[in-house]
Chains A and B, each alone.
Chain A
Amino acid sequence: MEELLEILNGLHDDVDYENEEHLIDNGILDSLDIVTLIAEISDRFGVTITARDIAPENFNSASAMAALIRRLEEEG
């Protein structure tokens, strides 16, 4: 989680990632952020995020992203 927060803070350091639950719905993360985020997550965690995974429910909060990474790690 800490590593993920580090990546997220690198994108926007003025967002309260631990409590924000609508990163996508509220337009806080845009498509450039998502592309950057996916590249960094793949790099650091060694998981492959597919198009199917790129859905609001997986990216609306830091905890949802962490859950996605855990799931992909288990599947991998």
Chain B
Amino acid sequence: MRRKNVLSYLYEIVSRKPDKAAFADDEIALTFRQVFDLTRSVGSFLLDRGITRRPVAVFMKKSPREIAAFFGVIAAGSFYLPLDEEMPAGRIQLILDNVRAPLVICDESTLEKAKEFDLRGGEAVLFSEIACAPVNESALAKAYDAALDIDPIYIVFTSGSTGLPKGVAACHRSVIDYVEALSDILGFGEETVFGNQSPLYFDACLKELYPTLKFGATTYLVPKKLFSMPVKLVEFLNEHRVNTICWVVSALTMISAFDTFSVVKPETLKTVAFGSEVFPLKQFRIWREALPDACFTNLYGPTEGTGMCCFFRVDRALADGEPIPIGRPFPNREILLLDEEGKPVADGETGEIFLRGNAVTLGYYNDPERTADAFVQNPLQKSYPETVYRTGDLAYRNQYGELVYVSRRDYQIKHMGHRIELGEIEVNVNMLPGIKLSAALYDGERKKIVLFYLGDMDEKELGATLKTKLPRYMLPGRIVRLENMPFTPNGKIDRVTLKKRCEA
């Protein structure tokens, strides 16, 4: 029978490899049997409370237990909403306001913090207390049978231009389609040992979570502080015999830029995938030279397209200054390159990327307006309903037919591997007392967000206040208080003049 539930991966592997380590960090390792038991206990607890087809927040320290909590939520036919202490408090509250989860699963390190939020009627519970709840076989079986592959399994939040983050909801079918395609492309198998870098509150971690279940592979959650310590990071990979990494580019360049390979080389690494940012060719070549036998793959994809949807295996020489292409779509996906009128662009011309296929997610949770703006009828056919996702990314096809990413269409930027709406930064600044007006720009050369503003608050105080409002990667690297804001003749903030000031 066709696979319709992501947990089928877990239910199949547990009888084949019960005692193998599935997920591990520097504190604990969970075997597939342990993950299975935790999943069923958490699922039973939820079902006994009648929480099925509902969002359930998981607010835990990143750990193998948090992953088991995710699966437990799915086992109840519900969908998980990951929250993390790294998110600013203001953002967490906005997310809780939008989603209204009846339950927030916490651990000992987050329970007190969770209680400081308005949980909107939701209840905070400890994972350790529900992890040994009695298993209710019949309720679990019923929930499993009742789940359709179009039912959501998670909501992850991305940046939104109005200052309100958007919750992308994705279903079983999209995730299964992604896991199958990605596993083929990157050659995952039972010998795969992942070194996970991405936080668990982004779709990026799908690359490790579900293939680990599919193959009975192993994922090590690499401690975050190692990403500041390149030699120790490589030593960690060697110690755990990690052979596969799917990391943001900045994590890879951290290693290559400091000549780490002259001290220590990755000994077991065979598969290196990267994405979310452009890999500077010079840094890429350092990696390639250090690992001549490894396979390098550039990945591209928006959260709204369930993880990644395009890939380019770097197997030909790239000319100096040639950007690494994003390549071709995964199987069962199509990329349309359209002009502003929704017509296909000619070969070599730049157009906006529209994504077609099962990978298109369900939309933004509790947000019909912004869903309607981005999840649109396929402009190329009007004969039957077909939703495609409009990415806002511009690209062209090169002479080999490969897609090459150009930039964002609007005023979204890519910084540290994150997609950021500069408008969201401005909205947050403008809401502060004493601030009159602000403009956020991106200085691509220095890779810094620069914030200009008018107001009574001084730069230091503004910087400190923003830390409680915005995620780390959205904080301006430079804050400049102005006496006068430059305007264009038709009254808009003159960003061209500001841009020149950035570069000065």
Binding site for B on A (CB under 8 A): 13-14, 24-25, 27, 29-35, 38, 49-52, 54-56, 59
User: Contacts A27-B224, A50-B263, A52-B263 given; 6 further ones with Cβ under 8 A?
Assistant: A30-B227, A31-B228, A33-B228, A34-B228, A54-B230, A56-B232
List 21 A-B pairs, Cβ < 8 Å.
Answer: A13-B463, A14-B464, A14-B467, A24-B229, A30-B224, A30-B227, A30-B472, A32-B250, A33-B228, A34-B228, A34-B229, A38-B258, A49-B258, A50-B259, A50-B263, A51-B230, A51-B259, A51-B260, A51-B263, A54-B231, A56-B225
Q: Which residues of B contact A51 (CB under 8 A)?
A: 230-231, 255, 258-260, 262-263
Of B225, B258, B416, B460, the residue contacting A13 (CB under 8 A) is: B460
Q: Are B231 and A52 in contact, CB atoms less than 8 angstroms apart?
A: yes
Q: How far is the CA of A30 from the CA of B229 in the complex (A)?
A: 10
Please determine whether B225 and A54 come into contact, CB atoms closer than 8 angstroms: no
Partner of A32, one of B231, B259, B260, B416: B416
Q: Give CA–CA (A48, B72) in the complex, Å.
A: 50
Indicate if the CB atoms of B231 and A25 lie closer than 8 Å: no
Q: Kindly report which residue of chain B lies nearest to residue A48, judged by CB atoms.
A: B259
**Bound CA span A29–B228, Å:** 8
Q: Among B224, B229, B463, point to the contact of A55 (Cβ < 8 A).
A: B229
A22 CB to nearest B CB, Å:
10
* Contact with A24, one of B228, B260, B416, B467 (Cβ below 8 angstroms): B228
B229 near A56: Cβ-Cβ < 8 Å: yes
Instruction: For residue B374, give the distance in angstroms from its CB to the closest CB of chain A.
Output: 29
Give Cα A36 to B152, complex, Å. Answer: 40
Interface residues in B183-238 (C-beta closer than 8 Å to A):
224-225, 227-232
A31 near B231 with CB under 8 A, answer: no
> In the bound complex, what is the Cα–Cα distance between A1 and B23 (angstroms)?
43
- Tell me the residues in window 246-291 of chain B with beta carbons closer than 8 Å to chain A beta carbons: 250-251, 254-255, 257-260, 262-263
Contact residues on B (Cβ < 8 Å of other chain), bracket: 20 to 34
For the complex formed, measure the closest distance between the CB of B440 and the CB atoms of chain A, giving whole angstroms.
18
State whether B225 touches A55 (Cβ < 8 A): no
Residue on B with the closest CB to A26? B225
How far does the alpha carbon of A59 sit from the alpha carbon of B489 in the complex, in Å?
50
Within the complex, which residue of A14, A29, A50 is in contact with B258, where a contact is CB–CB below 8 Å?
Answer: A50
* Chain B residues positioned under 8 Å from A30 (CB to CB): 224, 227-228, 472
* Most central of A38, A49, A50, A59 by chain B CB within 10 Å: A50
- A33–B257 Cα distance when bound, in Å, is 15
Find out whether the CB atom of A24 lies under 8 angstroms from the CB atom of B258: no
Give the CA-CA distance A30 to B232 in the complex, in Å: 15
Q: How far is the CB of A17 from chain B (nearest CB, A)?
A: 15
8 Å CB contact of A31 from B254, B262, B463: B254
Q: How many angstroms between the C-alpha atoms of A34 and B250 in the bound complex?
A: 12
Question: Chain B contacts of A35 at CB under 8 A?
Answer: 254, 257
| B464 pairs with A31, CB closer than 8 A | no
Q: Smallest CB–CB gap between A26 and chain B, Å?
A: 9
Partner of A27, one of B225, B257, B464: B225
Among A24, A38, A54, A55, the most chain B Cβ lie within 10 Å of the Cβ of A54
Q: Which of A24, A30, A51 has the most CB of B within 10 A?
A: A51
Return chain A residues, CB-CB under 8 Å to B460.
13
Residues in A neighbouring B224, C-beta threshold 8 A: 27, 30
Chain B residues whose CB sits within 8 angstroms of the CB of A13 once the complex forms: 460, 463-464
Complex contacts, A34 vs chain B, CB 8 Å: 228-229, 254
Q: Which residues of B contact A29 (CB under 8 A)?
A: 228
B63 to chain A, nearest CB (A): 15
List, in ascending order, chain B residues with CB within 8 A of A14's CB.
Answer: 464, 467
The CA of A1 and the CA of B251, in the complex, are separated in Å by: 29
State in angstroms the CA–CA spacing of A54 and B463 once bound together. Answer: 27
Q: Which residues on B sit within 8 Å (CB–CB) of A38?
A: 258
Closest residue to B86 on the A side, CB-wise? A27
Contacts of B262 in A (CB 8 A): 51
Q: Which of B56-72 contact A (CB under 8 A)?
A: none
Chain B residue with minimal CB distance to A59? B228
* A3 to B262 CA separation, bound complex (whole angstroms): 30
Do B251 and A31 have beta carbons less than 8 Å apart? yes
A32 → chain B, closest Cβ, in Å? 6
- CB within 8 Å of A: which B118-177 residues: none
Assess the A55–B464 pair: CB atoms within 8 A: no
Going nearest first, the 3 A-B pairs with the smallest beta carbon separation are: A51-B260, A51-B258, A34-B228
